Amino acid sequence: MSDLHFKTITELAAMLAAGEITSVAITQAVIDRTAAVDAQVKAFLSSDPKDALSQAKASDERRIAGKSLGPLDGIPIGIKDTLAVKDQPLRCASKMLENYVSPFDATCIAKLRKAGVVIWGRLNMDEFAMGSSTENSAYQTTCNPWNLETIPGGSSGGSAAAMAAGEAIATIGTDTGGSIRQPAALCGVVGMKPTYGLISRYGLVAFASSLDQVGPFARTVEDAALLMEAMLSKDPLDSTSIAPQGETNYAAALKEKMGPWKLGVPQEFFAEGIDPEVKTNIEKAIDWYKSQGCEIVDISLPHSELAVPVYYIVATAEASSNLARFDGVRYGHRSDEAKDAMTLFTKSRGEGFGDEVKRRIILGTYVLSSGYYDAYYLRAQKVRRRILGDFEKAFEQVDAILTPTSPTPAFKRGERADDPLAMYLSDVFTISVNLAGLPAISIPSGFTESGLPIGLQVIGKAFGEADMFAIANAFEQSHGYYKMMPAL
C-alpha cells in the first residue's frame, strides 16, 4: 500500500478499525520511509525499528481481541529528544547527555502508551531546546523537507521535519517560546502548544519551567486534537499541572463548533520586520475568515514588543538554574580532566554544553545575580504580567487572535547562526503566548513563491483549546494545504 506514511491519524484509524490494514504495516511504512529519506532530512537522532514493530504487533493483537484503545492505537509517533521514554536515550541533542538513558517514561508518554501509541524514535532539536533552527544540535543539522538548504525551524525541528517528510504519522515536541509552532509553520504542518499546565511536564527535561509545554505535531487539526485529548491530565507528579477545564472532547467538538467567531488581529504583529509574502498570506487568511462571516476586530497588544527581552530574561534565568544539575557527578558527561569537585563541574560543563546553551546560562546567571535581580528578573516578571493583561483585555472582545506564526519563512542554514539576536527574533510572534500561558496552534496557510510553507497562528483563551481547534480546522478543511507533500 503506497503512501501510508502521509495519511492522517483519522484516516489510518478508520482503516485499522475496518481491518484494511495493520499497525505493523503502518509502522513498517514509516520505518521504510525513514530509511529512504532521513539521510537527507536528518530528523532522527536514533530509532529502534524492532521495538516499534513489537509495539505495533501488540497493538494489532489488542485490536484482534476486540480491545482496541481508540483512534491512536497502533499509530507510530516520533518523540522529541527532550521527553523521557523509559530505556531510551534522552540526550536533549547535547553532548552532556551523550550516554544517558532514561529510567522512566514522561507522564505524557505514559498517557500516549495508554492510548496504544507506537513510540517511535528520538527526534533532533536544538540543544536543550535552545534555538530556532535546530542548528544548535550537538549531533546533526536537520533539513527542511521543502527545501533541504533551509532550516526546519526550532527547537523542535526534528519533530516538524519528520512530520513533513512522512517519517512519522505524528510527532511530539515542546514549546517554550515557539519551539513547536515556529518549526510547524516552517515545515508546513500543524503544531500546537496547549494552555500552560494542561499537559504534565514530568519527564520533560526543563529548559524554562514556567514556559515549557508539551504539544503535538500532526498533519491535521483533528489529529492534533486527538493527541491532545490523550495527553492532558492533572498529574500528581507535576505541581504546575492543572485539571482540564471546559470542553476537552476537542476532536468531537470540531464538528459542533461552526462559528462565526470574533477574531482579533493585533496591529503590532504586522508592523516591522515581517516578510512581505508572509504578511500578504496572513492578510488573505484573515480575509477568508471575514468572508465566512467572522467579525474581525483590530486589537492592541501594546506590551508585545517587550516579549522578546522579557522572555530572554525569564527563560535564561530559569534555564541557568534548571541546567545546573548537569555537573558530571551523578550522570551525563564527566570530564577526564577533573582534579577536584570544582574542576569536575567546570570541565564537565565546559566540554558538555554547546555555545548557545552556555550563552543562555551566562545570561541567566547574570540576571539573577545579587544587585541585578530587581532590575532584570523582577522587572521582567512585572512586564510579563502586563503582557498577560494585554491578552486578557483583548479576549474580552474576541474568541481568538490571528497572527503570522513566524515573521519569515524558513531561512538558509547558517544564515543567522552567528547572529543570536536575529535568531531570537524568529520567535517574536510566538513568545508572548508562552509568557501569557495561552494555547496557540500553527496551521499551514500557503506557500511563498519559492515554495516554502507559511503558517497561520491561532491564539486561544486560556483553556479555550476547543474553540481554537475549531477555528483552525475551518480554515484547514476549506484550504486543504495539509494534502501538499514535499518532494523528496
Partner 1 sequence: MPYEAVIGLEIHVQIKTRTKMFSAAPYQYGAAPNTLTDAVVLGLPGTLPVLNYAAIEKCAKLGLMLGCEIAEVCKWDRKNYFYPDSPKNYQLTQNEEPLCIGGKVEIELPGPSRNVEGDHRWVTLNRIHLEEDPGKLTHEAFETVIDFNRAGAPLAEIVTEPDMSSSTEAVAFLNCLRNMIVYAGISDCDMEKGQFRCDANVSLRPVGTNKLGTRTEMKNLNSISNVKAAIEYEIDRQTEVLKKGGSITQETRRWDVESSSSFPLRSKEEAHDYRYFPDPDLMPVQMDRSRIKELEAELPEPPLDKQRRYQESFKLPFTLTSVLCVNRELCEFFEEALQTHQAPRQIANYISNDLLRELSAASDSGDCALDVGQCKLTPSHIATLVKIIDEGIISKQIGKEVFNEMFVTGEMPDAIVEKKGLKQSNDIDEIEALCREAIAGNAKAVAQYKEGNVKALNALKGPVMKATRGQANPAMLDGLLKKMIDEG
Choose one: 244-252, 269-277, 323-331, 355-363; the region binding partner 1 (CB under 8 A).
323-331
Residue among 176 and 304 whose Cβ is closer to partner 1: 176
CA distance 326 to 174: 20
Give the residue with the Cβ less far from partner 1, 241 or 304: 241
CB of 122 to partner 1, least distance (A): 14
Residue type, 265: V
Neighbours of 48 (CB within 10 A): 17
Q: What angle do CA 304, 310, 315 make, to 5 degrees?
A: 130
Which range binds partner 1 by CB under 8 A, 315-323, 412-420, 447-455, 476-484? 315-323
Antiparallel, parallel or unpaired: β 76-80 and 118-123: parallel
The nearer residue to partner 1, 204 or 226, going by C-beta atoms, is: 204
Catalytic residue among 94, 132, 133, 179: 179
Active-site residue among 68, 132, 155, 304? 155
Q: Per DSSP, what are the bridge partners of residue 458?
A: 402, 441
Starting at the earlier edge strand, list the strands of the sheet with 400-404: 44-46, 118-123, 76-80, 170-175, 213-218, 190-193, 440-447, 453-460, 400-404, 262-266, 295-299
Catalytic residue (one of 23, 59, 68, 80) = 80
Residues 82-121: x where in contact with partner 1 by CB under 8 A, - otherwise, as a string: -xx-----x-x----x--x-xxx-x---------------
Query: Of the candidates 156, 320, 430, 473, which one interacts with partner 1 according to CB under 8 A?
Result: 320
Q: Which three cell numbers stand for residue 439?
A: 494555547
The single-letter DSSP state of residue 205 is P
* 155 given a catalytic annotation: yes
Q: Least distance to partner 1 from the beta carbon of 374, Å?
A: 11
User: Nearest to residue 194, comparing CAs of 480, 382, 370, 440?
Assistant: 440
19 vs 215: CA distance, rounded Å:
30
CA distances from 383 to 299, 369, 432, 439 (A): 19, 19, 11, 20
Q: Which stretch binds partner 1 (CB under 8 A): 54-62, 154-162, 216-224, 235-243?
A: 235-243
Closest CB 127 distance from partner 1, rounded Å: 13
Calpha distance 428→178 (Å, rounded): 9
Tell me if 416 contacts partner 1 by CB under 8 A.
no
Residue 333: CB minimum distance to partner 1, A: 13
Binding mask 30-69 for partner 1 (x = CB under 8 A): ----------------------------------------
Cβ pair 280, 248 in contact under 8 A? no
Smallest distance, partner 1 to C-beta of residue 398, A: 29
Is 56 or 123 the residue whose CB approaches partner 1 more closely?
A: 123
Question: What type of residue sits at position 84?
Answer: A
Helix (H) / strand (E) element for 213: namely strand 213-218
# residues near partner 1 by CB under 8 A: 45
The span from the CA of 204 to the CA of 92, in Å, is 10
Phi, psi of 410 (to 5 degrees): -55, 135
Residues with Cβ within 8 Å of 247's Cβ and at least 6 positions away in sequence, in order, are 253, 465, 466
- Residue 24 or 84 with smaller CB distance to partner 1: 84
Member of 6, 139, 288, 345 binding partner 1 (CB under 8 A): 345
Q: Is residue 330 within the footprint of partner 1 (CB under 8 A)?
A: yes
Applying CB under 8 A, does 331 fall inside the site for partner 1?
A: yes
Q: Are 399 and 261 within 8 A, CB to CB?
A: yes
Residue nearer to partner 1 on the CB measure, 271 or 341: 341
Query: Binding to partner 1 by residue 369, rule CB under 8 A?
Result: yes
Closest CA to 358 of 116, 95, 141: 95
Helix (H, G, I), strand (E, B) or coil at 468: helix
161 binds partner 1 (CB under 8 A): no
Asked whether position 361 contacts partner 1 by CB under 8 A, the answer is no
335 binds partner 1 (CB under 8 A): no
Q: Quote the least distance from Cβ 103 to partner 1, whole Å.
A: 7
Residue 262 sits at φ, ψ, to 5 deg, of -95, 120
If one asks whether residue 344 binds partner 1 (CB under 8 A), the answer comes out as yes
CB of 266 to partner 1, least distance (A): 27
Grid cell, residue 90, equals: 534522552
238 binds partner 1 (CB under 8 A): yes
C-alpha span between 75 and 87 (Å, rounded): 20
Output DSSP code: residue 327. S
Footprint on residues 181-210 left by partner 1 (CB under 8 A): 201-206, 208-210
Contact positions vs partner 1 (CB under 8 A):
83-84, 90, 92, 97, 100, 102-104, 106, 201-206, 208-210, 236-240, 317-318, 320-321, 324-327, 329-331, 341-342, 344-345, 365, 368-370, 373, 377
Catalogue the active-site residues.
80, 155, 179
